[in-house]
């Protein structure tokens, strides 16, 4: 995939300007790394499941390194957009956090690596034999020009539909296998007074997730990847078909979707006020944090038409250039990449471990099913979460989706999508 470091740098400057007044980053006054002997851990993990997983990881690090102070510098809000704006401002200003959450793929590689802001971690991979335990597909998502720049802590699946088991049983509903079946199921649910599909797209990306699930169903894994490589045009008939289906699907979501965050949409399913929710499997961690039982209170299936395919989202952490205590940061990254660290974090987060040798007894039914799927499925990167295309493309697609959700004009949407990916050609 083509990389556009120069355009990315412009984007960083623009975001940094807008975020100049955002001092909610919990940054320390004594330097980007929080000072000698202190690790500032920067993320956007503040929702249920996320925060518990993060705390478990920090507790594991404290147990192994009681002499090194670690600070939770998570930034809430915006589904990560607030944190990314603050991060861009700090990185551009020469005040990097010790380490920060970034999605593997183009968000990392066409962004911070292309901007020459990250240090290679080849030595850590060699020291810890990580090439033997991380799947090559994940290593590729954090590698550029022979160097490895981040450590994956988890794997999430983006093409998942979570559903309320009681609602499905009471209405005699079976999981739909394609989008036409979805429309039939949605119409039946709607006629029974139930919102078919919960959506919380206050921050837009949840709507983009719905659209990319439809796209993947219509294009298949291989051509879906080609779409974000610029090899297949956005006015391809299958993209147009996907936009038309997206419009129909939007007719079955809750009316207040634009006022809700992702977890609010998930809560509608938990409460039985909606039947389904298309969401990454951090929703599994959210439901578990609400004491709901997987397989009993809620179920799941691959988004219609994508059975046997796995839309990968991986959270990673690396070593920014310019931190004051790089060796201590590497100690944290070592714990993050270890079996103990991943087994502390992922069961609470709702994700599956990036390592292939973790203790399966620590994971529930959803996670064990997902681990099996990950090993056997065709893998695709998620656009909505920065893995499939550079950040400037993701931003433009999100803008196009936002307008479409409001106006629902297919021709205008396709033209906007063409403009969004014009830099990929």
Residues 170 and 195 occupy one common structural domain? yes
pLDDT value of position 12: 41
136 within domain boundaries: yes
Same structural domain for residues 125 and 197? no
Q: Quote the CA–CA distance of 348 and 268 in Å, as a whole number.
A: 21
pLDDT of residue 20: 35
Residue 369 located in a structural domain: yes
Q: Count other C-beta atoms under 10 Å from residue 172's C-beta.
A: 7
Residue-wise pLDDT for 358-408, tens only, equals 898 999 999 999 999 998 999 999 999 999 999 899 999 999 999 999 999
Give the DSSP letter of residue 250.
Answer: G
Answer yes or no: do 117 and 171 share one domain: no
Q: Read off the tokens for 26.
A: 């919990």
Domain contains 379: no
Note the pLDDT tens digit of each residue in 324-368.
999 999 999 999 999 999 999 999 999 999 999 989 899 999 999
Domain annotation covers residue 48: yes
152-163 tens-digit pLDDT:
999 999 999 999
- Assess whether 296 and 406 both reside in one domain: yes
Which residue reads 């069961």 in tokens?
347
Query: Is the predicted pLDDT of residue 33 greater than 60, yes or no?
Result: no
Determine the Cα–Cα distance for residues 301 and 130; give it in Å rounded to an integer.
31
Domain that holds residue 246: 157-311+384-424
Per-residue pLDDT band for 22 (boundaries 50, 70, 90) equals: very low
Q: What is the pLDDT of residues 36-83, one digit of tens each?
A: 569 999 999 999 899 999 999 999 999 999 999 999 999 998 788 899
**CATH code of residue 352:** 3.40.190.10
- For residue 278, what is the DSSP state? E
pLDDT tens by residue, 249-305: 999 999 999 999 999 999 999 999 999 999 999 999 999 999 999 999 999 999 999
Question: Per the domain annotation, does 42 fall within a domain?
Answer: yes
Query: Looking at residue 358, what is its pLDDT?
Result: 86
pTM of the model: 0.86
- Residue 424 pLDDT exceeds 80: no
Check whether residue 219 and residue 328 sit in a common domain. Answer: no
With respect to residue 260, please indicate whether it lies within any of the assigned structural domains.
yes
- Specify if 236 maps to a domain: yes
Please tell me whether residues 229 and 332 are part of one structural domain: no
Domain boundary among 374, 393, 412: 374
Is the domain of 249 the same as that of 322? no
Domain identity same for 299 and 163:
yes
Residues 6+ apart with CB under 8 A from 227: 215, 219, 234, 236, 239, 421
Query: Does residue 265 form part of some domain?
Result: yes
Question: Do 291 and 180 share a domain, yes or no?
Answer: yes
**Rounded to whole angstroms, how far apart are CA atoms 315 and 296?**
28
Query: In 3D, which of 304, 277, 157 has the Cα closest to residue 217?
Result: 304
> In this structure, are 218 and 340 located in the same domain?
no
How many structural domains does the chain have? 2
Residues 143 and 236 in one domain: no
268 lies in the same domain as 206: yes
- pLDDT above 90: residue 31: no
% of the chain residues with pLDDT over 90:
87
Long-range contacts, stretch 352-355, CB < 8 angstroms, 24+ apart:
352/154, 352/155, 352/156, 352/281, 353/154, 353/155, 354/134, 354/135, 354/138, 354/152, 354/153, 354/154, 354/155, 354/314, 355/133, 355/134
């Amino acid at each position: 995939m083509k990389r556009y470091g120069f355009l990315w740098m412009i984007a960083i400057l623009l975001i940094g300007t807008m975020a100049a007044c955002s001092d909610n980053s919990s940054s320390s006054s004594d330097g980007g790394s929080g000072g000698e002997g202190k690790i500032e851990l920067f993320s956007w993990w503040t929702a249920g499941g996320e925060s518990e997983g993060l705390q478990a990881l920090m507790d594991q690090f404290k147990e192994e390194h009681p002499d090194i102070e670690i600070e939770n510098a998570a930034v809430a809000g915006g589904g990560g957009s607030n944190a990314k704006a603050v991060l861009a401002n700090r990185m551009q200003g020469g005040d990097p956090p010790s380490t920060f959450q970034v999605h593997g793929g183009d968000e990392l590689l066409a962004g911070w690596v292309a901007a020459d802001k990250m240090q290679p971690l080849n030595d850590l991979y060699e020291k810890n034999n990580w090439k033997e335990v991380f799947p090559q597909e994940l290593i590729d998502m954090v590698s550029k020009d022979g160097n490895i720049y981040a450590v994956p802590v988890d794997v999430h699946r983006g093409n998942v539909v979570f559903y309320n088991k009681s609602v499905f049983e009471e209405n005699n509903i079976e999981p739909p296998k394609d989008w036409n079946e979805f429309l039939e199921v949605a119409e039946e649910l709607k006629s029974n007074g139930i919102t078919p599909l919960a959506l919380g797209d206050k921050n837009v990306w949840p709507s983009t997730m719905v659209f990319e699930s439809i796209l993947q169903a219509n294009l298949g894994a291989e051509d879906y990847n080609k779409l974000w490589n610029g090899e297949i045009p956005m006015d391809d008939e299958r993209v147009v078909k996907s936009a038309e289906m997206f419009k129909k699907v939007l007719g079955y979501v809750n009316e207040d979707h634009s006022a809700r965050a992702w977890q609010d949409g998930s809560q509608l399913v938990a409460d039985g006020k909606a039947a389904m929710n298309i969401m990454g499997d951090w929703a599994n961690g959210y439901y578990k944090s609400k004491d709901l039982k997987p397989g009993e209170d809620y179920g799941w299936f691959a988004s219609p038409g994508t059975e046997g395919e796995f839309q990968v989202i991986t959270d990673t952490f690396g070593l920014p250039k310019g931190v004051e205590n790089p060796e201590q940061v590497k100690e944290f990254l070592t714990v993050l990449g270890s079996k103990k660290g991943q087994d502390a974090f992922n069961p609470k987060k709702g994700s599956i471990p990036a390592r292939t040798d973790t203790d399966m007894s620590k994971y529930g039914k959803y996670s064990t099913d997902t681990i099996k799927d990950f090993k056997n499925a065709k893998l695709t990167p998620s656009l909505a979460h920065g893995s499939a295309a550079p950040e400037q493309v993701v931003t433009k697609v999100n803008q196009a989706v936002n307008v479409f959700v409001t106006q629902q004009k297919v021709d205008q949407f396709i033209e906007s999508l063409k403009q969004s990916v014009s830099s990929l050609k």
